Amino acid sequence: MNATSDLSAIRELNMSYLMLARRVLASDREAAQSHLGLTVEMANLLLKLSPEQAQKLASSSQVLCFFRMSTDAMLAGLAGRNSEAPVSAVTDDALLAA
């Protein structure tokens, strides 16, 4: 039961990451590549994924994103945001910082 729940959580995280990555790549590709740590080739592949391919990739048992929080100040800045900020804004900022 717990393994199923864990895999479901990983799939949900992966799909959220893929959707966010595609959205920011489409709006400002150069900045998105820098923030997400993607090569030109990887950015091209992400943008070309069909919905079915994205779903299959998200269903992997491995987390697709990685966190590049290299300083305590970055983490403290993200964690110390205004408590009235929408959760989605905090999540998007955290993923972009990754």
Question: Per residue in 39-95, pLDDT tens?
Answer: 999 999 999 999 999 999 999 999 998 776 666 777 777 777 655 555 455 455 555
Stretch (H or E) spanning 79: helix 72-79
CATH (domain of 49)? 1.10.4000.10
d(CA 65, CA 26): 18
Position 98 pLDDT exceeds 80? no
Q: Which domain holds residue 26?
A: 2-97
**Rounded to an integer, what is the distance from CA 13 to the centroid of its chain?**
8
Are the C-beta atoms of 95 and 17 separated by less than 8 Å?
Answer: yes
Structure confidence at residue 66 (pLDDT): 79
Give the global pTM.
0.67
Handedness of CA 24, 22, 39, 55 (dihedral sign): positive
Structure confidence at residue 76 (pLDDT): 77
Number of domains in the chain: 1
Structure confidence at residue 93 (pLDDT): 57
